[in-house]
Structure 1
Amino acid sequence: MSGEWVRVCDSAAVLPGELHTAWMDEVPLVLFNLEGEIHVLRDQCSHEDYELSSGFYDPDEGSIECALHGAKFDVRDGRALCAPAYTPVEHFEARIADGGVHVRRR
């Protein structure tokens, strides 16, 4: 059901400065703990169909760099920060409740 909150992992699985992968239905997700806030993107580079979670997460900058071609995205909203990507990565609303990370289904 659209708009429903779905628990995707325990909140302890996403420690400060780290990333974690999860699934919601059949959608691969990458979760980031940026200064205690959880941000969630589709685990797929918008430039190539390649998983972002294998790239370099920079918690100081709040970005993820795709390991395939070096495209960078802002983990807070999914916007592309440099070429070769120009299209944002899908961003999902997240919250922490009852010891888990919950993501809003679209």
Structure 2
Amino acid sequence: MMTPQVSAMRIARELQSLENDIDALIAKAGALAGQVATARVDGGYPAATGHRAILKLLSATQKAGEIRSDLVRAHEDLRHIAETADFPTACPPQAVDQDAPLRVAS
């Protein structure tokens, strides 16, 4: 059985890894959408070519952003639990307004 401190350290490590992975996913999905759009323009194809694929990639990127928001909120909840249990944490203070609605940046 793990001590609470060891559990907390493992959770922190896995959470940070997951946060990094979702950021990498967002970057890769956005880059891929950009590559598809650039290939269409460079190839001289009509705007309708690849349109659905680009929209699907953008939708996937938006969903990844929503997942990221949930992860940030979970991180805040876990930080609060750690502080309540008097475990040291290197987490920054609340980084997101938990009541703010999710929206796509324009």
Same fold (TM over 0.5): no
Larger proportion of strand: 1
TM-score, normalising length: structure 1: 0.24
